[in-house]
Amino acid sequence: MNSFSVSVVIPVWYEAKGINERIVHVYQRAAEAMCSPSVQVIVADGDPEASTLAAIENEEVIQVKSPQGRAMQMNAGAAMATGDVLLFLHADTVLPVGAFDLIQDALRKDRASGVSAKAGAFSLSIASDSRFLYLVSKLSNWRNRITRTPYGDQAQFFVRSYFEEISGYAPIPLMEDVEIMRRIRDRNDPLAIIDTPISTSARRWEAEGMYRCTLRNVLLRLLYGAGVSAQTLSNWYRAMKG
């Protein structure tokens, strides 16, 4: 693609403390990019009181109030987007140096096949010195390449027209990131997984316990793969967190 415009959608839920740092980070990565992208930042808040939106200092950021639920928030943000590419970035995730150049390269037409990917994600790394979490990220990246279902904390991205064609994220309370990637896989559409990793916070594992959190996540994904509904899994997830 000759021109390169990106809408970065950040779904949030009580992220007032760190949201301005994340916004600055996105613009810094854009300024570093060789492809000189036009970047639009959209923050979609699921908090009824919009506490994270109230904390935003940059007036250029598009603020979206949405019903709670990551899928609904990301779809609401995407509906306000004008960029050719949508990048969905979790509030606790850091993009690598050269992220926008890497996305542009990933979406270019392959010279051999003549086909271009319309969606993709980064590889995963977890911001922790824990050898266990290092292993978790390595196994996750191996699984991604086998199953072609990278998760939402890997900064999924889409050509906007393609995202609209496949009707965006399913309005389900859990597993929306897995569900959309399975739809892409079932369509046999090309998917780009960038070797360079993003860095996602270890705060979930630290708050809930590394082994407990990992086991719960694996169990939920296995159950979803076995046909258990996202609503049932969401109920179990809340019970297990409690």
Q: What is the pLDDT of residues 217-242, one digit of tens each?
A: 888 888 988 989 988 988 887 776 65
Q: Is the pLDDT of residue 1 over 60?
A: no
Q: In the predicted model, what is the mean pLDDT of residues 36-40?
A: 95
Question: What is the average per-residue pLDDT within 40-53?
Answer: 97
Give the C-alpha separation, 192 to 145, whole Å. Answer: 10
Q: Is residue 119 predicted with pLDDT exceeding 90?
A: yes
The band of 207, judged by pLDDT with boundaries at 50, 70 and 90, is confident
pLDDT of residue 136: 93
pLDDT value of residue 238: 74
Residue with the larger pLDDT of the pair 220 and 125: 125
Name all domains of the chain by residue range, CATH numbers in brackets.
5-204 (3.90.550.10)
* Amino acid making up residue 53: L
User: Nearest-CA neighbor of 150 among 186, 122, 172, 169?
Assistant: 122
- Summarize the confidence of residues 127-150 as an average pLDDT: 93
Q: Report how far residue 87's alpha carbon sits from residue 64's, in angstroms, rounded to the nearest whole number.
A: 16
Q: What is the DSSP secondary structure assignment for residue 21, as one 8-state letter?
A: H
**What pLDDT does 14 receive?**
97
In angstroms, the CA 25 to CA 93 distance is 10
**Across the chain, what does the average pLDDT equal?**
92
Sheet of 191-201: strand order equals: 62-65, 38-45, 5-12, 85-88, 157-159, 119-127, 191-201, 93-94
> Does the structure show a pLDDT above 60 at 101?
yes
pLDDT at 216: 86
User: What phi and psi, each to the nearest 5 degrees, are found at residue 112?
Assistant: -75, -45
- Furthest CA-CA distance within the chain: 51
Q: What is the pLDDT of residue 135?
A: 95
C-alpha to C-alpha distance for 212 and 181, rounded to whole angstroms: 26
Q: How many CB atoms lie within 10 A of CB 232?
A: 13
Positive/negative CA dihedral, 198, 6, 152, 242 = positive
Token pair for 3: 């021109």
- Residues 188-197: tens digit of each pLDDT: 999 999 999 9
pLDDT reported for residue 184: 97
3-state secondary structure of 11: strand
Spatial separation of the C-alpha atoms in residues 66 and 11, rounded to whole Å? 9
Picking from 1-10, 61-70, 86-95, 172-181, which range would have the lowest pLDDT averaged per residue?
1-10
| pLDDT, position 86 | 98
H or E element at residue 62: strand 62-65
Residue 2 has pLDDT above 60, yes or no: no
pLDDT at 110: 57
Average pLDDT on 146-162 reads 95
Mean pLDDT of 99-115: 79
Q: Which residues of 175-187 are buried (b: 16+ CB within 10 A; e: fewer)?
A: bbbbbbbbebeee
Cα distances (angstroms) measured from residue 176 to each of 21, 54, 154: 26, 27, 13
CA 157 to chain centre: 7
User: Residue written as tokens 């390449």?
Assistant: 145
Percentage of the chain exceeding pLDDT 70: 95
